Amino acid sequence: MDFKNKMLRDGALQDKVIVVTGGGSGLGKAMTHYFLELGAKVAITSRDLDKLKNTARELEQSTGGTCLPVSCDVRHYEQVEEMLNQVIDTFGKVDVLLNNAAGNFISPTERLSANAFDTIIDIVLKGTKNCTLAFGKHWIDSKQPQATVLNIVTTYAWTGSAYVVPSATAKAGVLAMTRSLAVEWAKYGIRTNAIAPGPFPTKGAWERLLPGDLAAQFDLSKKVPLQRVGDHQELANLAAYLVSDFSAYINGEVIVIDGGEWLKGAGQFNLLEAIPEALWDQLEAAIKAKKNK
């Protein structure tokens, strides 16, 4: 089976209404495309309404689904409430919130201004909080029996990472929020999960993170035990499963999809893979000789 194949059966998300923040491009667009193919109605949000309209038109033409573009800056709670109301006015309800909007750049932390640091915190952590709180309050007040929040985090939400400190700080907060609300809001029928993707190249994000010829110098596929980066359909498959009713007993989980990259970086002796076979032969012979003394 090809890992680029679609996973769920046709109609798996029929009658679902899904909101995808940051849905105008990249991974948000890829996930939205698959949700539409599976029968969901999807609202995509970002600050750039013209871009959203073009994306929505393209997605509707390619899938035959219904995609609603809604301008929203997730950093501002009142805009999130307006976006939520617009989705409800259009579709009558909302079942799923996918917090995908993010921002990031690489920089030594001492080179960052306070404003630059705040920008990432506001989009990633405050934006996720704003959307989750607004949607959660609506679901609880309206006594909706089932709802799902799916957050996109990253593996360095656990470990931290140099040179992306604002992002690591914000994603760690989202990770804690995911697990906390999974317990607190389960009694309302709200499931809260997250995905921690590894390298999934997107034009916009990767050009910001690895500008110029840095992408060629830092081949991220070499950091992955499977020796490749992720395909967008793989992430879309996982996201679709986690927002579908097939995952109804999964709550508070954070699923890593990175080909083993995180584990490779975490293992103390993983760098030994650079040792050539001939040297391993010498080391083995030396160990046996020592045992025989």
Distance (Å, whole) CA 253 – CA 97: 16
Backbone phi and psi for residue 86, each to the nearest 5 degrees, phi listed first: -65, -40
Give the strand pairing for 96-99 and 17-21. parallel
Distance (Å, whole) CA 72 – CA 99: 13
Give residues with Cβ within 8 angstroms of 209, minimum separation 6: 104, 105, 106
Catalytic residues: 156
Give residues with Cβ within 8 angstroms of 184, minimum separation 6: none
Ramachandran quadrant class, 158 (left: phi over 0; alpha: psi -120 to 50; beta: rest): alpha
**E strands present in 4-49:** 17-21, 41-46
Structure tokens at 93: 């309800």
Distance (Å, whole) CA 145 – CA 143: 6
Q: What is the CA radius of gyration of the chain?
A: 21
- Torsion (CA) 201, 207, 210, 211 in degrees, nearest 10: 160
The DSSP H or E segment spanning 77 is: helix 77-91
